[in-house]
Amino acid sequence: MVTTAESAVHKSHQQSRVLIVGNYCHDVLIQKNAVKAVSLGGAASVISNVFNGVSISCNLVSKVGEDFKYPVSYTPIVIPTLKTTVFHSYFDPGLHGNDHQDRILKRVCACDPIRPSDLPDTRFKYGMGVGVGGEILPETLERMIEICDVVFADIQALIRVFDSVDGTVKLVKLEETGFYPLLPRIGVLKASSEEAVFMDVEEVRKWCCVVVTNGKHGCKVYWKDGELGISPFLANQEDPTGAGDSFFGGFVAGLVQGLAVPDAALLGNLFGSLSVEQVGLPKFDTRLLQRVKDEVQRRKMQCLLHERSDGELEFLRPVGHEQFHTFLVAAKLITPCPSCTMEAEQTAVPHYTKQPKLLANPMYEEPIQRVE
């Protein structure tokens, strides 16, 4: 099924409050010169997976080539003359005797960038700029700012550059990019602790909220007038793939449902911890999801009296925040049911080709090797 830019917006979600912008990818994991896994990649795929789990509709703008291999819930724009973006991740486990797997990431094929004209001509409450392969242009992010009340950006969409010879991913300082002048108009900028060194957090926090994730240590929220550490969740790590993207999905899902920033960040930490306990794109236990959704609604009603009337994000830790964390910890103890799948998977989705086995997705928050 080939979809033009004009008709690619998922029709059943025209009234959704969230716009996600970022390309789907094909990810290839290579270890010891052998291909270990091939999977669906791209932050957009991980975030939309979280949204599906908590029953939040969204519009998703993504571009792929006719070689795109996976059925997905949100139809991408297919570019007949190009191939889908492909990343090769080269891992060397335990090279330095630590818990990390050193990674060299290469973009070996790039699909078309997402342009302002590709975005829907409607207004959204929230927008998420979550490119991974350089597909989001400064002018595209600026257009998102114009049509969304609040824009969330992942710093990897802003600071990644690619070697002209072999596509090796490098990171540049945020202030050296064309996105830097847009920071005062962005609501939230998310970065991993490794990516955060490529910006001056103390300067950026004057213009927008900065959320820095730090794996098993949880995350930290910075804003102009303060900062706050958010508690983590214990996890039996199987695959750190997409943990930061799952966090971002849970975080924005919480805000969409009316939570204050600290509570939403707790929800993000929960989904990040659930992600690392599975290999590949996670499947969430339906009983856990229902308990979380019910508690979020209860939490929202509990905090209504403290909700800001101006629509701005609420950064102060609300009453009952620790109890909310305690509840989520208890909810996570539900024994996972392997046969449980999300309701979204029961929805008919477009098939492009025969779906390969979904294996480990090498897109995750481990530090990219810096190549000088």
With beta carbons less than 8 A apart as the criterion, state whether 248 and 239 touch.
no
55 — phi, psi (to 5°)? 60, 45
304 burial level (CB within 10 Å; 0-12, 13-18, 19+): exposed
Give me the catalytic one of 154, 245, 263, 285. Answer: 245
Regarding beta strands 59-61 and 18-21, do their DSSP bridges make them parallel or antiparallel, or are they unpaired?
parallel
DSSP category for residue 175: G
Question: What's the gap between Cα 51 and its chain centre?
Answer: 10
* Burial track 28-40 (b if 16+ CB lie within 10 A, e otherwise): bbbeeeeeebbbb
Whether residue 92 lies in the annotated active site: no
Query: What DSSP letter does each residue of 254-289 carry, written as one string?
Result: HHHTT--HHHHHHHHHHHHHHHHTSSSS----HHHH
End-to-end CA distance of the chain: 42
DSSP letters, 189-242, are EEEETTTGGGS-HHHHTTTSEEEEE-GGG-EEEEETTEEEEE-------S--BT
Residues 6+ apart with CB under 8 A from 85: 23, 24, 25, 26, 42, 64, 107, 109, 110, 111, 132, 133, 135
Q: What are phi and psi of 167, to 5 degrees?
A: 80, 10
Catalytic residue numbers read: 245
